[in-house]
Structure 1
Amino acid sequence: MTATNASAAPQAQWTVANPAANDAFSATNVSGVNAVLTNVTTGATITCSVYAATGTAVDGVYASGTGLATISSATFGTSATKCNGPLGSKWVSSSVQAMKLNGVTYSAGVTKGTLTGVKVSLTGTSLLGTCNATIEGAANTGSYTNATGVLEIVPDTTPALTVTSATGQCANLIKTGDKAKFGAKYKVTPVITVTSP
């Protein structure tokens, strides 16, 4: 399952074991670890203390690491606990489409790989008004650890996320064409086991 900068040759075969009868999983923020979206172009950051995801990881043996799990829904911030942005702005964000977790390498219970098909919408409010934006792309650095059920996405050295639209009162904090990177740390329930010989 996951997300690391995938320079090594991919593993040839993968096995996924999910104890949930319906192959579903949920993921919530690891306590005390914020999700951070960084606009690399402007330097602005949006920090979320509450974030979550749901998806499926289907039991089975896979010929490649592509699509070992699917994140069907992801949210960042809630109406009660919004994410914090620059100039006192408050934000919430949610996924627009399903995303794929792809394994690239496996060693000693840790899978590294990519998160692809990312498309999220963001809504921010400030004294200036409301800003709406969409970000698309991938996260290419991260890991999933069998022993802890922790999925960690590390901000990419080379950003692979792009702002594809930005409308409203965005105050040049986010604009179409900006590059972005993202980091977060999730606890997956139930704990899924991913292996590759």
Structure 2
Amino acid sequence: MRKLSTLSKSGLVTGSAIAAALVLAAAPANAAPTWTVSGGGTFTGTSTNSVLTDSNTGTQLKCTSSTAKGSATNGTNLPGAGIGSITSVTWTNCTGPLNITFTVTAQGLPWALNAVSYAAPVTTGTLTGVKAHISGTGCTADFGGATSGSTATLDVKYNNTTHVLSLLGTGNLHAWSVSGLCLGLINSGDATGYKGDYSLSPATLNITSP
């Protein structure tokens, strides 16, 4: 058998490279997970165990109840980002250190509910765009993201069986603009966590992914 000429070898190599490029171009990119929402629409979530904790000092702000209202639109092949939204949040009977009574005000609404992963019956995700302000006797503070004025991302999960949206106490929530009696108990720049289990009504929302 005759040896291939240098030109022939070069042609074969070039042809192989072109063929490989065509195969790669024809291959579909890894598609992002798609999501299905059923039983959606507007909902109201109620929590009786809402707790804000300063991770650096251990200081806690507890509220006897919290109500969140939001919505999720029914559909298939939906992106996980913005699969739902929280349009209002209120807290009642909130107390902190030194028995100070606080008013908590949600800011930056609506907050986006985002689906990230699914292991039946639980969807794990995030709540983004979060900001809030607290005020009490001689004590005020803002809460947001990792830098002053930014919004926070909170880790959440939603259970299709119990219809409970849980805020897990993790994410990048921080305290800012702390003043008055809060100083030393809560400090500007302190990492904080917010936990609460919100039971949804009507109990119909289902979020799934193949």
TM-score range, shorter chain: 0.7 to 0.9
Aligned residue in 1 for 2:54: 39
Which whole-Å CA distance do the structure 2 matches of 1:109 and 1:42 have between them? 35
* Residues 73, 94 of structure 1: 8 Å contact kept: no
1:83-162 to 2 correspondences below 5 Å: 83-97=94-108, 98-125=110-137, 129=138, 131-136=139-144, 137-140=152-155, 142-156=156-170, 159-162=171-174
Which whole-Å CA distance do the structure 1 matches of 2:166 and 2:176 have between them? 25
The CA deviation string for residues 80-137 of structure 1, in whole angstroms up to 9 with x for no partner, is xx21211111112121122111111112221111111110111122xxx3x2211011
Which whole-Å CA distance do the structure 1 matches of 2:178 and 2:76 have between them? 41
* Residues 11, 105 of structure 1: 8 Å contact kept: no
2:42 corresponds, among 24, 28, 40, to 24
User: Which structure is higher in RCO with an 8 Å CA cutoff and minimum separation 6?
Assistant: 1
Aligned residue in 2 for 1:196: 209
TM-score where L is the length of structure 2:
0.75
1:160 shift after superposition = 1.0
Structure 2 residue runs without a partner (length 5+): 1-30, 145-151
TM-score where L is the length of structure 1:
0.80
Which whole-Å CA distance do the structure 2 matches of 1:13 and 1:153 have between them? 23
Which whole-Å CA distance do the structure 2 matches of 1:37 and 1:187 have between them? 18
* Residues 11, 196 of structure 1: 8 Å contact kept: no
**Which structure has greater helix proportion?**
2
Secondary structure of residue in 2 paired with 1:87? helix
The aligned length equals 172
User: Relative to structure 1, is the Cα distance of residues 153 and 11 closer, same or farther in structure 2, using a 3 angstrom cutoff?
Assistant: farther
Letter in 1 for 2:141: A
- The alignment-based identity, stated in percent, is 36
